[in-house]
Amino acid sequence: MQAVQFAGHGGTEVVEYGAVPDPEVGRDEVLVDVKAGSLNHLDVWTRRGMPQLDLDMPHVPGSDAAGVVVDHVGEATWSDSLRSLAKGGRLVTCGATTGGRPETHVQRLFWNQLSVLGSTMATLGEADDALSLVWDGTFDVRIRDVLPMSETARAHELLENREGFGKVVVIPDSER
Ligand SMILES: NC(=O)c1ccc[n+]([C@@H]2O[C@H](COP(=O)([O-])OP(=O)(O)OC[C@H]3O[C@@H](n4cnc5c(N)ncnc54)[C@H](OP(=O)(O)O)[C@@H]3O)[C@@H](O)[C@H]2O)c1
């Protein structure tokens, strides 16, 4: 992804823009597809450095952003996805792996004027556009493990216990 980074603390000469690795989402985190950010004085103070602020450099700054939260997990993440939205925030749902009937705090929806949007599939042309980003190396397909079919039970465990990250692939034992 493209991002602004501080090479270190200092003046505006430390502000850089360029490609950085895509972020990996932790268990208790959501990934926001940021469409725009607005500067806050916190960005300037962070750039200059503050007592007791101990950041790894380079640092990707940002305190105010506008974007959407995409949830394809369903029940396990739904409440947190909604809670992560600021007033007027948007949640896009496109899957429900852990269940399709999560509880919703309706008051949170109307008080915060939130929008929940459903998204499904794409045209073949859009799918081609997305895949071209795989073929040209922009996106990396993450493989958790490649196992022989005789170890499919282990493949199930990896998925069920959420061990590792990425697709679990099984291939005929003769191909190992
Ligand atoms: N909108 C549409 O048109 C459309 C089209 C196709 C599929 N879908 C739906 O999209 C969903 C995902 O499909 P898929 O093919 O991508 O399935 P998948 O390959 O099985 O991926 C499931 C994903 O859910 C995550 N997950 C599972 N349990 C979780 C939990 N408790 N907390 C957080 N993350 C969890 C997994 O993360 P880990 O790997 O870390 O466990 C994995 O990234 C399904 O509900 C499917 O029906 C929607």
Task: Encode pLDDT of 66-95 as tens digits.
Answer: 778 999 999 999 999 999 898 999 999 999
Question: Which residue's entry shows tokens 């919703």?
Answer: 104
pLDDT tops 90 at residue 173 = yes
From the CA of 144, give the closest atom in ligand 1.
39
Question: Would you say 1 and 20 are in contact if contact means Cβ atoms under 8 Å apart?
Answer: yes
CA of 95 to the centre of ligand 1 (A): 6
Q: Which fold has domain 2-140?
A: Rossmann fold (3.40.50)
Q: Is 44 left (phi over 0), alpha (psi -120 to 50) or beta?
A: alpha
| Amino acid (one-letter) located at 39 | L
- Confidence bin at 26 (pLDDT 50/70/90): confident
Q: How many residues does the chain have?
A: 176
Between 96 and 31, residue with greater pLDDT: 96
Write the residue with the smallest CA distance to atom 22 of ligand 1.
Answer: 97
Which pLDDT belongs to residue 67?
Answer: 77
| Torsion 139-100-84-53 (CA) sign | negative
Mean local confidence (pLDDT), 126-143: 92
Mutate to test the pocket of ligand 1, among 29, 72, 124 (most ligand atoms within 8 A of CB): 72
Q: State how beta strands 2-6 and 15-19 pair.
A: antiparallel
Lowest mean pLDDT among 4-13, 21-30, 80-89, 150-159: 21-30
Rounded to the nearest integer, the mean pLDDT of the chain is: 91
User: pTM above the 0.85 mark?
Assistant: no
Mean local confidence (pLDDT), 167-173: 94
Domains of the chain, residue spans: 2-140, 141-176
In sequence order, what E strands does 8-130 have?
15-19, 32-38, 64-71, 90-93, 115-118
pLDDT tops 90 at residue 168 = yes
Which pLDDT belongs to residue 172?
Answer: 92
Mutate to test the pocket of ligand 1, among 28, 70, 97 (most ligand atoms within 8 A of CB): 97
